Amino acid sequence: MTAKNFWNITFPILRNKFVLTLLIFGVWILLFDQNNLLDRFYEMKSLKALVEEKAYYSNKIQEDQRRMNELESNKDDLEKFAREQYLMKKDNEDVFVVVEKE
């Protein structure tokens, strides 16, 4: 198909007021409208990231609640946790932190 033949077919279609109106409306919705497709794409991407973040924090909260219930129910576990995490010690003890080289 030659360029001249292409324009001979396309130009009468574009002169139709309904096709022209539909084309302008489509461009308006795609690019210029308040809820255009580009913004909608970025919002969906952001929503997906937020849903994944919500799932991560929900799992983290459940894990921390389980650990907290464990620590509240057993005094030996609480003492072990305090010694390991916060390097707490009894009055007559010395604590040595050993760091292994990788």
Domain ranges of the chain: 1-33, 35-89
Contact 70, 77 (CB under 8 A): yes
pLDDT band, very low/low/confident/very high, at 6 (cuts 50, 70, 90) = low
Structural Rg of the chain based on CA atoms: 33
Q: How far apart are CA 71 and CA 90, in angstroms?
A: 19
Q: Is the pLDDT of residue 16 over 80?
A: no
pLDDT digits (tens, 9 = 90+) for 29-59: 887 877 788 888 899 999 999 999 999 999 9
pTM of the model: 0.53
For residue 32, how many other CB atoms are within 10 A of its CB?
8
Contact 71, 78 (CB under 8 A): yes
pLDDT digits (tens, 9 = 90+) for 54-73: 999 999 999 999 988 988 88
Q: Which long-range contacts (CB under 8 A, 24 or more apart) does 63-69 make?
A: none
Residue the block writes with tokens 């970025």 = 42
